[in-house]
Amino acid sequence: MCRTLPAAEQNPKVLGVVIAGGRSVRFGGEKATAPLAGRPLLLWAVLRLQRNCARVAVNTRPETQTEALARAEGLAVLHDVPGDAAGPLAGVKVGLTWAKGLGAHAIAVSPCDAPMLPDDLFARLIDAAGGDAAIAETPEGRQPLCSIWPVSALVAVTEALAGGAHPATWRVLESIGAKPVRFADAAAFANLNTREELAAIAARLERGGRGTP
């Protein structure tokens, strides 16, 4: 089971949400449960969020291996609201609803398939947000799945998804005034779409690359 960090290292006002609802067509299976250095990709994301968030939930599709793994680890599982267009914004919506119900002020959002994200990613995003929204940026552009969303954004997200709409996640972040936080290493934000890419990261770790979330 994922370890829980001491309360002094967490922000009780911010909860974490891993977006893991994609169908992983190019990967040929559920990416979130694929192992990297002996740990499923999902848990790389969970452990990173747990450094700064008091609780972490997983947004995934029902009756999947990812759901089973999350439940086995004692994590909350969030399913998209029926009628919402499939995509990360639907996951943000249920994450905000979950956080609001627990009295939190914001959620930190992470993809499930980017194991090399910077160690200080969420600490910097939470600090920059200051109670509002924040989004990571690299020289290659915005990284909307590495972001902070205040619970107050639930209204805007719900409106954006109304009628089956599927707007770009970064556009909604922009509409709520998300503060950009610059990270120099664009490669650290690369997501894994194929088993070949996963194998390349595994080989890098074996050669002595960064191996902790």
Task: Give the pLDDT confidence of 55-91 residue by residue, as tens digits.
Answer: 999 999 999 999 999 999 999 999 999 999 999 999 9
Of 136, 31, 145, 152, residue with least CA distance to 91:
145
Q: What is the pLDDT of residue 18?
A: 98
The whole-number pLDDT of residue 211 equals: 53
- In the CATH scheme, what is the code of domain 7-206? 3.90.550.10
Percent above pLDDT 70 for the chain? 89
Summarised one tens digit per residue, pLDDT across range 151-165 is: 999 999 999 999 999
Q: How confident is the model at residue 11 (pLDDT cuts 50, 70, 90)?
A: confident
Sign of CA dihedral 120, 172, 33, 106: positive
Dist CA 121 CA 129 (whole Å): 12
pLDDT of the residue at 12:
76
Reply yes or no on whether the pLDDT at 182 is more than 80. yes
Residue 4 has pLDDT above 50, yes or no: no
Question: Does residue 212 register a pLDDT over 60?
Answer: no
Per-residue b or e along 104-137, where b marks 16 or more CB atoms closer than 10 Å to that residue's CB: bbbbbbbbbbbbbbbeebbebbbebbeebbbbbb
Distance CA 130, CA 188 (A): 24
Whole-number pLDDT of residue 26 = 62
Q: What is the mean pLDDT of the chain?
A: 89
Instruction: Give residue limits of the domains in the chain.
Output: 7-206
**pTM attached to this predicted model:** 0.89
3 state SS of 198? helix
Q: Is 23 exposed, middle or buried (0-12, 13-18, 19+ CB in 10 A)?
A: exposed
Q: What is the mean pLDDT of residues 180-196?
A: 89
pLDDT band, very low/low/confident/very high, at 24 (cuts 50, 70, 90): low
What is the rounded distance in angstroms from the CA atom of residue 191 to the CA atom of residue 52? 21
Question: What pLDDT does 2 receive?
Answer: 44
- Coil, strand or helix: which one is 174? helix
Beta strands 39-40 and 106-111: pairing type? unpaired
| Inter-residue contact 125 to 146 (CB < 8 Å) | yes
At 28, the pLDDT band (50, 70, 90 cuts) reads low
